[in-house]
Chain A
Amino acid sequence: MDQIIVQILNGLDKGSAYALIALGLTLIFGTLGVVNFAHGALFMLGSFCAVILSRLLSSSHEVADPDRLDFLGNPAMNKVFYVQDIFGEAAGAAIMDWAVPLAILFSIPVMIGVGFIMERGLIKHFYKRPHADQILVTFGLAIVLQEIIKYFFGANPIQTPAPEAFKGSLDFGVFLGYEANAIMYPYWRLVYFFFSAVIIAAVFAFLQFTTFGMVVRAGMADRETVGLLGIDIDKRFTFMFGLAAAVAGVAGVMYAPIVAPNYHMGMDFLVLSFVVVVVGGMGSLPGAVAAGFLLGILESFASMPVVVDILPGINQIIIYLVAIVILLTRPRGLMGRKGVMED
């Protein structure tokens, strides 16, 4: 029993990342009808927002120390961080420690900007072209983005630690009456799960309860009629693209402490997120979220030793296997809308 709980917990954080990326992908597909292969790259860019901010915050200058001399007899140099100059010793250290959560604030405007530029500059011209062309051009864009990142940050993963307060693990089993150390769960993964739940809820609430969201949903259902009512639906859809980019971005920021950001992490996630979207059903937001968590948990169950003993290798292929079965038996995916890409 405790094994099952461990696997569910393990699946949750990966599932949250899948769900967040898949949510953005579906949002773009449902509004603009574009298959965005560069979405993984947006996730990667978000991760690097965390890297950039933590580097900016820990930038320092050197000040001569009057009390100490180095071995040549010159005054020794002390590293002084700019944030500590500005905010004082303790507050500065705290800010540096909390770089990753702070990077969320930094990444949202950046990612919305990136999304706007992408949509207005490139994707706008591809609405009328076949899906294959959209896949190809965004695939090319993903390569370009990751190569740019590689040029500036190198090919090696960059460790980006979580704040000190979230290091260590929560002894989850104790709450459920198991003995200590039976079910351990790192704090940051728990944070990631709750964070993604909040983001998902916020996106749904935005679409469900605001006038803007209502118009967007109407546009998703029938773009032409909404246009005839005198609403500039294109502008709203562009904003939705920016929002989807921001969702992928913050998903990346928060994921940075779990997997050290590297330039090809986007591609690794992209393939799986596409499978998630297809399993959930093209254009269905709840489907994408449900499938994200479902596949994340399935994946961690499949890697249990008991399961691997019976079906060797199943942990490697479970997601693809599920995708193939779903695609062949339920052409619309789990919760796909009728009439959306049913060919």
Chain B
Amino acid sequence: MLGLTKQDSKLMLIVIGLVVFAPFILNPFPEGSAMAQFNAGYPDLMQRFVIFGIFAIGFNLLFGLTGYLSFGHAAFLGVGSYAAIWSLKLITLNVLPGIVFAIIVAGAFSFVVGYVSLRRSGIYFSILTLAFAQMSYALAYSVLTPITGGETGLQIKNTDNPLIGGPTDGSIGRANLFGAEMGNSFELNIGSWLFTFNLGYYIAAAFMLVAFYLSIRIFRSPFGIMLRAVKSNQQRMNYTGLTPKRYTLSAFVISGMFAGLAGGLMVAMDTQVGPERMFWTASGEVVIMTILGGAGTLLGPVLGAGFIKYMENIVSKINKDILHEWFAFMPDGLEDAMVAFVYPFIGKGWHLTLGIMFMLVVIFLPGGLVEGGQRIAAKFRRTKNAETPDGASKPAE
């Protein structure tokens, strides 16, 4: 299918299925039930899943394949966001040109940063990208205020007058795609379940599927193999007469464009942007996402992004009262002890759980959650047909 092998087509179809039916899958609990707070099927969060999925897929193309650890990727996302919001403010409220601008501007910016940073490798590369990102953040925060809106950032205002099709009645314009607004949702009630199908989500999801498809193609292409060669032995590549920099720079720009796409989509969904999007902790977040899910695997970054955003938005909302409810079946003393034990790890302390999980993954599972899943699956398979040992283990992709 579309130049994919049978196995990849299967993976692609599974991802398409998951993304299309996400409003069902993420809302397994009926409205109003005690478990309803674990429902993640509301538009805002679903949009974040796919947008950060794109961001992480892009980061993975750089880090997973070439091994270059960029600590400044959020800068490209931020630059893309600014480009997109200016397009919405000045040109048209249609999001498509904005997203295209975001990709182009982020690509150009990442070319400049990459051209300079890729002269060094290892930790120096990390520091250089970090320095560029921090500079962009500091400038966006202070001197570039006329362009970036400084601390308050940029929003669409009712004084904005885009060239094509702004609102004429003085109201605040809404981002749309050929007239259909991003916020449009269709709600479906089945019994006590409520499913929301949001236009913005499906547009972002379509972009994510394209990004995922591109990433499969890049992984399987000769170009992707060259990128892996950079990771495994750059010196040998040099001796063979190839220039690694051409490949790494292309990978850097591609992943910068993915970040720009994510930034553009973010603006399309919430029509605002602030400099904190470029702060180095945001760059750190995408590193954590990719590695937690599995760097160098196809599905890993998307899983990692979903996992972290789920924790950030759902797990962080659990408070002490809810915990007491959960452990109410226990005797009082035990209940209090359980709550005291569990509480530091969830609710406001979810970062602690994240940090611990991240460390465990780096220490024991270099392939991330994907590798963990594969190991468990392999174990089950081995116990099932122990007589016919299946020697060919699948690569972690």
Mark A residues whose CB is within 8 Å of B.
35, 122, 125, 130-133, 135-137, 139-141, 143-144, 147-148, 150-151, 267, 271, 274-275, 278, 282, 312-313, 316-317, 320-321, 323-324, 327-328, 331, 341, 343
Contact = CB atoms under 8 A, between A and B. Distances in A.
Contacts of B354: 143
Given A132-B122, A148-B352, A341-B122, 16 more contacts: A131-B122, A131-B123, A132-B67, A136-B69, A139-B358, A143-B355, A147-B352, A274-B127, A275-B127, A316-B143, A317-B138, A320-B131, A320-B135, A321-B131, A327-B128, A328-B120
B69 A135 contact: yes
Contacts of B220: none
Contact of B143 (A122, A150, A278, A313): A313
Contacts of A282: 123
Interface of B: 67, 69, 116, 119-124, 126-128, 130-132, 134-135, 138-139, 141-144, 280-281, 284, 287-288, 291, 344, 349, 351-352, 354-356, 358-359, 362-363, 366
A136 B291 contact: yes
A321 B135 contact: yes
Contacts, number: 111
Given A320-B131, A320-B132, A327 B359 contact: no
B127 A316 contact: no
Contacts of B123: 35, 131, 135, 278, 282, 341
B142 A316 contact: yes
Contacts of B122: 131-132, 341, 343
Contact of B351 (A130, A147, A271, A327): A147
B358 A143 contact: yes
21 contacts: A122-B363, A130-B67, A136-B69, A136-B358, A143-B358, A144-B356, A147-B349, A147-B351, A147-B352, A313-B143, A313-B144, A316-B138, A316-B143, A317-B138, A320-B135, A323-B128, A323-B131, A324-B131, A328-B116, A341-B124, A343-B121
Given A144-B352, A151-B344, A313 B131 contact: no
A125 B366 CA distance: 14
Contact of A132 (B69, B143, B349): B69
Contact of A331 (B116, B120, B138, B139): B120
Residue from A140, A267, A324, A341 whose CB has the most chain B CB atoms within 10 Å: A140
B359 A141 contact: yes
A273 to B, nearest CB: 11
A69 B363 CA distance: 62
A327 B288 CA distance: 26
Contacts of A148: 352
B138 A313 contact: yes
Contacts of A321: 131, 135
B355 A140 contact: yes
B363 A139 contact: no
A20 to B, nearest CB: 19
A278 B363 contact: no
Contact of A151 (B116, B287, B349, B356): B349
B124 A327 contact: yes
B69 A278 contact: no
A151 B344 CA distance: 7
Nearest to B127: A278
Contact of A137 (B127, B349, B362): B362
Given A147-B352, A317-B139, A323-B127, A137 B359 contact: yes
Residue from A122, A131, A132 whose CB has the most chain B CB atoms within 10 Å: A132
A317 B349 contact: no
Contacts of A135: 69, 123, 126
A323 to B, nearest CB: 5
Residue from A122, A136, A137 whose CB has the most chain B CB atoms within 10 Å: A136
Contact of A136 (B121, B132, B287): B287
A224 to B, nearest CB: 22
A201 to B, nearest CB: 28
Given A136-B287, A143-B358, A313-B139, A275 B131 contact: yes
Query: Would you list the 9 A-B pairs with minimal beta carbon distance, nearest first?
Result: A313-B143, A143-B355, A316-B138, A140-B359, A147-B352, A320-B131, A144-B355, A140-B358, A317-B135
Residue from B131, B144, B291 whose CB has the most chain A CB atoms within 10 Å: B131
B352 A313 contact: no
Contacts of B120: 327-328, 331, 343
Contacts of A267: 281
Contacts of B352: 143-144, 147-148, 151
Residue from A122, A320, A324 whose CB has the most chain B CB atoms within 10 Å: A320
B169 to A, nearest CB: 39
B103 to A, nearest CB: 25
Contacts of A312: 142-143
A143 B142 CA distance: 28
Contacts of A139: 284, 287, 358
A144 B352 CA distance: 5
A322 B121 CA distance: 18
A132 B125 CA distance: 11
Contacts of B69: 132, 135-136
Contact of A147 (B130, B143, B355): B355
Contacts of B128: 323-324, 327
A136 B355 CA distance: 11
A69 B116 CA distance: 75
A320 B355 contact: no
B255 to A, nearest CB: 16
Nearest to A313: B143
Residue from A150, A267, A313 whose CB has the most chain B CB atoms within 10 Å: A313
Contacts of A132: 67, 69, 122
Contact of B142 (A122, A130, A313, A324): A313
Contacts of A130: 67
A278 B128 CA distance: 10
Contacts of B138: 313, 316-317, 320
B363 A125 contact: yes
A317 B139 CA distance: 8
Contacts of B280: 271
Contacts of A122: 363
Nearest to B291: A136
Contacts of B116: 324, 328
Contacts of B356: 140, 144
B252 to A, nearest CB: 16
A139 B134 CA distance: 18
